[in-house]
Structure 1
Amino acid sequence: MNDAQQRPKAEPLSPNQPPHFYRGGAAIAAFRGLPVLDDHRPEDWVASATARFGTAGTGLSVLAEGTRLADAVRGDPYGWLGGEHVARFGHSTALLVKLLDAGQRLPVHCHPSDDFARTHLSAACGKTEAWLVLGTTGERPRVWAGFRDDVDEAMAYRWVSEQDGAALLGALNEIPVRTGDALVIPAGLPHAIGEGVFVLELQQPSDLSLTLEWLDFLDTAEQAHLGIGFERALAALDRSAWDNDRLATLLTRRESGSLLADAADDFFRADRLSGGATVEPGFAVIVVLGGSGTLHTDNGAPLPLARGTTVVVPHAAGPARLSGLDGALDVIACRPPTVPNPGETVS
């Protein structure tokens, strides 16, 4: 076998939908053109090298030959990620992509920052995320994010200890959403996704959620605070007020022509592309929203693309060139954050 044959290649990924506590999954099945597995498979973890919290391997993506993506990356980090990426992030892909279909309203929750995750949860990173709305159903598709007013520590603790879900949800900004809108969710920001909202989610590669509203969603409070107790867990919560001007730094409406707000730049990238575009060499996850075409790389056979196709592209594949049939191809390219040039400060 020659060197070109040994290098990792771009390849399509099958659905990877671990069971979850909340309902959903029909929109994912329709998007991929597959039958519904059951009504508690609301998340498709795409190109996942991240395991579900508290498990050894649930949620990890498996490549065509049966190798876990996480193992493949550890075995050839330079081939999968490139030298500059490895110098900054080590063997981590620095990205997890999901398709998420909220078949019911999700509970109010937040995610820890990098510092909190390392200090209190012995984790490599926290979880900032972003949602790109792919579709909605129902009369009032909406999400919630950030407290409207400052919330003091005692009040937050009372809401959580008494499981006053109505107070928690009622204190958040309610945001109507449409297909094409996007919202960045920084670590610490309390949030929830409403029933009928189907999103493409980009996030840091962790599965750390502090579930403030756990009653009627999770089995135990232990699951909600990840074993550290709510007194410690609530230190991760952003209790500050988010008015409309502040929220505008996170929200992108479809008519703007942009995908993600600048708040995402330190964590991940997303570009909407069509036939004729090229994705520069590097680890990438391609999600096809519509049309059909082909993905061409320097290393491997051309791959057919159609709505619902998801492809992982390693650095060793070289530039990923998109060609669409009759020019009709609509793709989101999801990538880790840009690696700074030598000498550039990393924030």
Structure 2
Amino acid sequence: MELLPANTPRSYYRGAGRIHRFRGIATPDDPYYPEDWVASTTSRHQQAPLGMTRLPGGQMLADAIAELPEWWLGPEHVARHGADATILVKLLDAGQRLPLHVHPGRRFANAHLASPYGKTEAWVIVHAEPDAVVHLGFARDVGPDELAGWVAEQRIDEMLAATNQVPVRAGDAVVCPAGVPHAIGSGVFLVEVQEPTDLTVLLEREGYSTGGHLGLGYDVALACVDRQAWTPDRLAGLRGERSTDRPGVRRLFPERADEFFAAERLCPDPVSALEPAFSVVVVTSGEGTLQSEHEGSRAVRAGDTAVIPHGAGRCALRGAVQAVRCKPAS
């Protein structure tokens, strides 16, 4: 069980210093550090090892897992996935509205990008300014020529007007399936859990220096976009907190997320009981103690992030504290 230092690769959009204040570290003068990649075995697209986590002792987490995969991930996980953690967790601080973009699904990524993973993701909102929104899916069906025209001519206002603007507030948990166009609005700070890739197609690219089509050209890349209408009923299916049989633990996402990852809200009552599993824990408020069966205990407080190996055994979070726990699909 390790408490992790911040891991903030430079990005193409601005943060507002929330990650650094949350983590209790100095805020850089450069605002383009809006993400903390937590317990990451994934690199920036074509920029390895940028984005990958180094443990406090200096070893890369990916190397530590490769040396002792069953200790870190558990024998059942290793039998299915090898030494692949299969998730990526981030803190994300939107100091501006992110550009409208989309992540490919597994079938597209396998066919065009030699990746077994796409990028279904989900958001747990830690803080949101009043009137904060996310743009999530098109509100009506969009034809392929209409989408291609918007992107080629960068008719951003028309693209955004065609999306659903979904209000968000602290405590919300929302799944964003691969293929769904989305943009996180300014003033939102969240924990993101996702498939372990950095695959992004920018529909809105003006003013951004990063590439937009993954080297495929837009004629190919836009085939990954879900152009169907996301009605209010469909959007409602992207939320759904669920109970568990463990005290102080609730699952945060509906069943459609289960094949990709899991996340839990930990509110000790008086304890949050955690089964053995590779886990990434983000402490969102308060102070408490994270105890493990085989690796002792650690005092934790708001802003801490921890990685827990399967081999740590049964764990418990105690105290006046709340956290989000992310883990691979079971």
Decide: shared fold, TM above 0.5. yes
Counterpart of 1:287 in 2: which secondary structure? strand
Name the counterpart of 2:312.
317
Matched, 1:34 2:19: no
Match of 1:280 among 275, 280, 283: 275
Name the counterpart of 1:189.
180
Conserved? CA contact 1:141–1:197, under 8 Å: yes
Conserved? CA contact 2:139–2:163, under 8 Å: yes
Q: CA deviation at 1:259?
A: 2.3
Code of the residue aligned with 1:281 in structure 2: it is P
Name the counterpart of 2:147.
156
Rounded Cα–Cα distance in structure 2 between residues aligned with 1:246 and 1:89 = 31
Matched, 1:49 2:41: yes
Conserved? CA contact 2:42–2:196, under 8 Å: yes
Code of the residue aligned with 1:175 in structure 2: it is V
Rounded Cα–Cα distance in structure 2 between residues aligned with 1:333 and 1:189 = 25
Rounded Cα–Cα distance in structure 2 between residues aligned with 1:56 and 1:334 = 23
Rounded Cα–Cα distance in structure 2 between residues aligned with 1:56 and 1:95 = 17
Match of 2:303 among 308, 313, 316: 308
Name the counterpart of 2:118.
126
Rounded Cα–Cα distance in structure 2 between residues aligned with 1:309 and 1:212 = 34
Conserved? CA contact 2:251–2:262, under 8 Å: no
The CA RMSD measured in Å over matched residues stands at 1.5
Code of the residue aligned with 1:266 in structure 2: it is E
Give runs of aligned pairs for residues 138-287 of structure 1, distance below 5 A. Answer: 139-219=130-210, 223-252=211-240, 259-275=252-268, 276-287=271-282
CA deviations 1:232-286 (Å, max 9, x no partner) are: 1011000001110111001359xxx862222211111111113312211110011
Instruction: Name stretches of at least 5 consecutive residues in structure 2 with no aligned partner.
Output: 242-249
Name the counterpart of 1:93.
85
Instruction: Name stretches of at least 5 consecutive residues in structure 1 with no aligned partner.
Output: 1-9, 339-347
Counterpart of 1:132 in 2: which secondary structure? strand
Q: CA deviation at 1:33?
A: 2.1
Code of the residue aligned with 1:130 in structure 2: it is A
Name the counterpart of 2:10.
19
Rounded Cα–Cα distance in structure 2 between residues aligned with 1:132 and 1:274 = 15
Conserved? CA contact 1:290–1:306, under 8 Å: yes
Conserved? CA contact 1:249–1:262, under 8 Å: no
Residue 252 to residue 25, structure 1, CA distance change in 2 (3 Å)? farther
Rounded Cα–Cα distance in structure 1 between residues aligned with 2:191 and 2:212 = 24
Conserved? CA contact 2:89–2:193, under 8 Å: yes
Rounded Cα–Cα distance in structure 1 between residues aligned with 2:78 and 2:16 = 34
Rounded Cα–Cα distance in structure 2 between residues aligned with 1:73 and 1:165 = 43
Counterpart of 2:26 in 1: which secondary structure? coil
Q: CA deviation at 1:85?
A: 0.6
Q: CA deviation at 1:57?
A: 0.2
Conserved? CA contact 2:251–2:263, under 8 Å: no
Code of the residue aligned with 1:261 in structure 2: it is P
Counterpart of 1:224 in 2: which secondary structure? coil
Rounded Cα–Cα distance in structure 1 between residues aligned with 2:254 and 2:160 = 24
CA deviations 1:22-80 (Å, max 9, x no partner) are: 00051111211222123110000000000000112000000011011111111111111
Conserved? CA contact 1:25–1:43, under 8 Å: no
Conserved? CA contact 1:279–1:333, under 8 Å: no
Residue 108 to residue 85, structure 1, CA distance change in 2 (3 Å)? same
Counterpart of 1:160 in 2: which secondary structure? helix
Percentage of pairs with the same residue: 46
Code of the residue aligned with 2:218 in structure 1: it is F
Conserved? CA contact 2:125–2:169, under 8 Å: yes
Rounded Cα–Cα distance in structure 2 between residues aligned with 1:132 and 1:27 = 15
CA deviations 1:209-242 (Å, max 9, x no partner) are: 11111111235xxx10010010110110000011
Residue 25 to residue 315, structure 1, CA distance change in 2 (3 Å)? farther
Q: What is the aligned residue count?
A: 320
Rounded Cα–Cα distance in structure 2 between residues aligned with 1:135 and 1:147 = 25
Q: CA deviation at 1:291?
A: 1.4
Rounded Cα–Cα distance in structure 1 between residues aligned with 2:216 and 2:24 = 41
Name the counterpart of 2:66.
74
Name the counterpart of 2:52.
60
Rounded Cα–Cα distance in structure 2 between residues aligned with 1:68 and 1:116 = 30
CA deviations 1:158-187 (Å, max 9, x no partner) are: 111111111111110001111111210000
Conserved? CA contact 1:279–1:319, under 8 Å: yes
CA deviations 1:103-132 (Å, max 9, x no partner) are: 000001110111111110112311000011
Rounded Cα–Cα distance in structure 2 between residues aligned with 1:282 and 1:169 = 40
